[in-house]
A and B are shown apart, each in its own frame.
Chain A
Amino acid sequence: EAQVTQNPRYLITVTGKKLTVTCSQNMNHEYMSWYRQDPGLGLRQIYYSMNVEVTDKGDVPEGYKVSRKEKRNFPLILESPSPNQTSLYFCASSSLAGGGETQYFGPGTRLLVL
């Protein structure tokens, strides 16, 4: 089954404690992206990747890091989480064949930073 998986689904942590949210896709997609969803703000892109070892900032990259060492994986790293990073996070992927490709989303990771 074609899917994007994220782990963990729920996470409670404390300020400053490094964490990683994993994302994996099994569709051989070139493009992967991380979004955060906050009430009234919709989805805002954090980072995206066009392919292995190619990443770029989205609209709200501060406080986040990513890496793309393998095509299927795109982990999101919070080196020193702060309460304003409490949010719902989504990973997504798509191919880049022609522009009209559907973006597939993971189930989301709900993060609470105390």
Chain B
Amino acid sequence: AQSVAQPEDQVNVAEGNPLTVKCTYSVSGNPYLFWYVQYPNRGLQFLLKYITGDNLVKGSYGFEAEFNKSQTSFHLKKPSALVSDSALYFCAVRAYDRGSTLGRLYFGRGTQLTVWP
């Protein structure tokens, strides 16, 4: 079965400090990994994705994520947090099952990031 875990419901950091939002996954086969962000009263916006190749993926707004196959992790990072980064972050994985689950995305429960000024 495919699944995604985000072990922290909340992450609090001070502005200017580095931030990490954790994600681990479980899939059969090669994973396609995604991060989405949700600002208050908005839909989900795509941040970045890992398909293949370099394990460090760069995305929008200065975010990056590192794919670690041995640890089955895909943590989201940013070297210097901004107050405007405060939002709800979702990790997601897509893997191809046999049968009808082709193309499905499986989401974690989300991590609320708060950046304090």
Contact = CB atoms under 8 A, between A and B. Distances in A.
Contacts of A31: 103
B46 A102 contact: yes
B104 interface: yes
B43 A99 contact: no
B32 A100 contact: yes
A35 B110 CA distance: 14
Contacts of B49: 100, 102
Contact of A42 (B45, B90, B103): B90
Interface residues of B, number: 25
A59 B6 CA distance: 19
Interface string B16-57: 000000000000000010101000001111100101100000
B58 interface: no
B19 to A, nearest CB: 20
Nearest to A104: B46
A113 interface: no
Interface of A: 4, 31, 33, 35, 40-45, 48, 50, 56, 58, 90, 92, 94, 96, 99-100, 102-108
7 contacts: A41-B109, A43-B110, A44-B107, A96-B103, A100-B94, A103-B46, A107-B42
